[in-house]
Structure 1
Amino acid sequence: MRVGAHTSIAGGAYNAVDEQVEYGGNCGQIFSHSPQVWQDPNIDDDEAEQFRDRTDEHGVGPWVIHSSYLVNLCTPKDDLREKSIDSMQKEVDAADKLGVEYVNVHLGAHTGAGVDQGLDNAASALDELDIPDGVTVLVESDAGSGTKLGGEFEHLAEVLSRSGQDLEVCLDTAHMFAAGYDLSTPGGVEDTVATFDDVVGLDKLACIHLNDSKHECGTNKDEHAHLGEGKIGEDGMRAILTHEDLTDVPFVLETPTEDGKGFAWNVERARELGGV
């Protein structure tokens, strides 16, 4: 099983690898900079080399860079669109420098432009990127609140279809649950996986953000819980982790640090529920 957590590059990108090893993880995710501001990655050559070397030494991977929260690919606003494209270009370049396989991005919100136009905007924005060989952009599923797109599998399929890039998908279990895909039972997981395969295709699934949910299915509320302790629960999480079509997909945790439990607890919990 490939399971790991979102770790910090504070003090040097290579520290994220050491932190991952402390948690018992063997894959993971990072931000290349603060995700709440428009900021360029600032990773020098030595830092990148140490990240690559430590990744190889500890057998950690794949890695994902999560893009800035400010990126909005669906926006009809020209200035925000250009900032989003520029930010994404810098992320894929940073991924190439670090030897990171994936850059993950939310589609964003159409803010009144409409679903179809928003999806067109996202696909055409992604088409502006010069993505290095060895790096793949992942479009992430969303909780689906307001005018945000990505809550429906059809949104993901349309962007993949309309873009000329070779894109893949990251599914977030808490987001899917919030958007109305019931993952709380083995039957619900089976139905959801089958639906995703029919609409998007399991061959396009590159990563799963493994998070339980503090809120009920279909509420569009995105708040993560410890594995097995939220509304998805143990049965749902076990069904996800042991589903034959998902066992080769890397699981990346974005679970909270609260109640005396953090990433190490959730990494171990994932392995227990997965029967590893």
Structure 2
Amino acid sequence: MPLLGAHQSIAGGLHLAFARIAQVGGESLQIFTANQRQWKAKALTDEEIRLFQETWQKHGFMPVASHASYLINLAAQDPDKAEKSIAAFSEELIRCRQLGINLVVIHPGSHGGRGIEAGLQEVSRNLEQALVRSRALDSELKILLETTAGQGTSLGSRFEELGYLLKNTRYPQHLGICVDTCHIFAAGYDIRRPATYNQTMAALAKQIGLDQIHLFHLNDSQKDCGSRVDRHAHIGQGRIGLEGFRLLLNDARFSHLPMTLETDKGPDLHEDVINLTRLRALID
């Protein structure tokens, strides 16, 4: 069965995310390792690292992924913005290595009007730089390029674009894919019915390879298929609907993977409980 979980806050300390995921009955976890609205993060202390690793061990070393800051744009045209992005992502990779997190999710970036090919080439170069700077080449770390909705000039809404990055970036052993259900739906990949679900998975297999997928984000979509608008909705309350998630959750090819929610929630996290309950009810 898929390992269902959710993105949780690190307020009060990184290690407290484990208490939050336990509170909602999750089996996998995604976090930010630092404030995702700031370029520069404080270095982790030995105590923060120790607390995180000890708490993780108590929770059975469930799968944990980090999501890189939304400020980072590895396709940035401006040299200063590109350098800030490489530096920030390198620091993210270093923090993840310190904590023992091997899955790091990042949006490919936005080409800013230069065109898809030029943008992808920039992303490829900057991914390589971040891996070298962070000294991650001798690690098991995987950078997971996330599928996107295709808003504006963002890259990664077509499977071909992600496939290009996997094939044309050095150190492919450190790259993989995170599939976001809301994003692929908004990008025009319909997963609501068996026929269209199978078409989408066939395209994924052809352009990327199903073995390259290491994580799913489970989000319904407020907007229609092909809208290119990224607006998450609670499971079964958006335009994808329950059947699309039923098809995914019962797809044996992904039964071993972590799948995390990224939906809105209040302080008591009851929305996560409801969404996880709905998802588990769909598994045969």
TM-score range, shorter chain: over 0.9
One-letter amino acid of the counterpart of residue 81, structure 2: L
Please list, as runs of the form range in 1=range in 2, the aligned pairs for 1:118-157 lying within 5 A after superposition.
118-129=119-130, 130=132, 131-132=135-136, 133-157=139-163
Q: Does 1:240 find its partner at 2:248?
A: yes
Work out the CA distance in 1 between the residues paired with 2:141 and 2:76.
24
Query: What's 1:108 paired with?
Result: 109
Work out the CA distance in 2 between the residues paired with 1:37 and 1:236.
36
Work out the CA distance in 2 between the residues paired with 1:116 and 1:208.
26
TM-score by length of 2: 0.93
Query: What's 2:224 paired with?
Result: 216
After superposition, what is the alpha-carbon deviation per residue over 1:79-115, rounded to whole angstroms, capped at 9, x for unaligned? Answer: 1111111111111111111111111100111011111
Q: Select 2:183's aligned residue among 166, 169, 175.
A: 175
- Once the two structures are TM-superposed, the CA of residue 37 in structure 1 deviates from its matched residue by 2.2
Which sections of structure 1, spanning at least 5 residues, go unmatched?
none
Query: What's 1:190 paired with?
Result: 198
Work out the CA distance in 2 between the residues paired with 1:163 and 1:77.
21
Work out the CA distance in 2 between the residues paired with 1:39 and 1:269.
38
Name the % identity. Answer: 36
- Once the two structures are TM-superposed, the CA of residue 207 in structure 1 deviates from its matched residue by 0.4
One-letter amino acid of the counterpart of residue 73, structure 2: N
One-letter amino acid of the counterpart of residue 9, structure 1: I
Query: What's 2:9 paired with?
Result: 8
CA 196–125 in structure 1, closer or farther in 2 if over 3 Å, else same = same
Q: Does 1:254 find its partner at 2:257?
A: no
Contact between 2:189 and 2:226, CA under 8 Å: does it hold in 1?
yes
Q: Select 1:266's aligned residue among 253, 268, 275.
A: 275
- Once the two structures are TM-superposed, the CA of residue 41 in structure 1 deviates from its matched residue by 4.7
Contact between 1:33 and 1:42, CA under 8 Å: does it hold in 2?
no
- Once the two structures are TM-superposed, the CA of residue 61 in structure 1 deviates from its matched residue by 2.3
Q: Find the residue that maps to 2:85 and give its secondary structure.
A: helix
User: CA RMSD for the aligned pairs?
Assistant: 1.4
Work out the CA distance in 1 between the residues paired with 2:273 and 2:42.
27
Work out the CA distance in 2 between the residues paired with 1:188 and 1:44.
48
After superposition, what is the alpha-carbon deviation per residue over 1:53-84, rounded to whole angstroms, capped at 9, x for unaligned? Answer: 22121124211110111111111111111111
Contact between 1:13 and 1:43, CA under 8 Å: does it hold in 2?
no
TM-score by length of 1: 0.95
